[in-house]
């Protein structure tokens, strides 16, 4: 079977061409926890990121909106249809379940903290769980305590932080390029 026919462009994704893509992509041992992320654009964009890196699952926690939601679906360009997700009442609950189900998983919070280290100085290993938090309040303190490590992105300008989806994307691609053997017939 030619895998390339399952690679869809944004227009095909938006129109829902009817392709059944679940099971056609090898999922990476990457899990993403959203700790009270409120902006539906961020949530939908995180679904796109999860699809882009073939993450195994997203956990939508607390006050995070869940599909079906028109704004999430629009921002995700329909990736909500095949990226696996689960709702948990709290991120603490989700992380506890992940730790129980997946032995030796690295739990990494992406947050600015007095205990954080630069994201590019950490050695990421699979399986891995990344936690991102509320757009204004960040990852909750009780969730930070559960993390094996807290990583942050350096900021050089006037603004003190990046959008949650952008921060997650940068760290995800650091992980993918440092841990996943990528095979492709594309020339970059």
Whether residue 126 lies inside any domain: the answer is: yes
| Cβ contacts of 118 within 8 Å, gap of 6 or more | 151, 152, 153, 154
Whether residue 18 lies inside any domain: the answer is: no
Q: Tally the domains of the chain.
A: 1
Whether residue 105 lies inside any domain: the answer is: yes
Per-residue pLDDT at 180: 66
Q: What is the pLDDT of residues 75-109, one digit of tens each?
A: 999 999 989 999 999 999 999 999 999 999 999 99
40-58 burial, b for 16+ CB within 10 Å, e for fewer?
Answer: bebbbbbbbbbbebebbbb
Whether residue 72 lies inside any domain: the answer is: yes
Q: What is the pLDDT of residues 6-15, one digit of tens each?
A: 565 555 555 5
Per-residue pLDDT at 157: 86
If we measure between CA atoms, which residue out of 51, 21, 2 comes closest to residue 176? Answer: 51
User: 155 falls in which pLDDT band (50, 70, 90)?
Assistant: confident
For position 155, which CATH number holds?
3.40.1280.10
Whether residue 184 lies inside any domain: the answer is: no
Question: Structural domain of residue 156, as residue ranges?
Answer: 25-175
Whether residue 158 lies inside any domain: the answer is: yes
Per-residue pLDDT at 4: 44
User: 162 falls in which pLDDT band (50, 70, 90)?
Assistant: confident
Phi, psi values for residue 169, rounded to 5° = -60, -45
Predicted TM-score (pTM) of this structure: 0.85
The mean pLDDT value of the chain amounts to 87
Whether residue 16 lies inside any domain: the answer is: no
Whether residue 185 lies inside any domain: the answer is: no
**183 pLDDT higher than 60:** no
């Amino acid at each position: 079977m030619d895998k390339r026919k399952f690679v869809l462009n944004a227009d095909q994704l938006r129109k829902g061409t009817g392709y059944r893509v679940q099971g056609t992509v090898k999922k990476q041992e990457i899990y993403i926890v959203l700790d009270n992320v409120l902006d539906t654009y961020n949530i939908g964009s995180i679904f796109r990121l999860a699809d882009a890196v073939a993450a195994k699952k997203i956990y939508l926690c607390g006050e995070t909106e869940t599909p079906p939601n028109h704004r999430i679906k629009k921002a995700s360009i329909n990736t909500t249809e095949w990226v696996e997700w689960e709702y948990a009442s709290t991120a603490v609950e989700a992380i506890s379940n992940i730790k129980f189900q997946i032995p030796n998983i690295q739990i990494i919070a992406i947050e600015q903290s007095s205990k954080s280290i630069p994201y590019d100085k950490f050695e990421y290993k699979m399986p891995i769980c990344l936690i991102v938090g509320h757009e204004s309040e960040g990852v909750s303190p009780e969730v930070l305590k559960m993390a094996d490590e807290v990583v942050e992105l350096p900021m050089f300008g006037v603004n003190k932080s990046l959008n949650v989806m952008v921060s997650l994307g940068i760290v995800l691609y650091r992980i993918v390029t440092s841990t996943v053997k990528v095979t492709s017939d594309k020339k970059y």
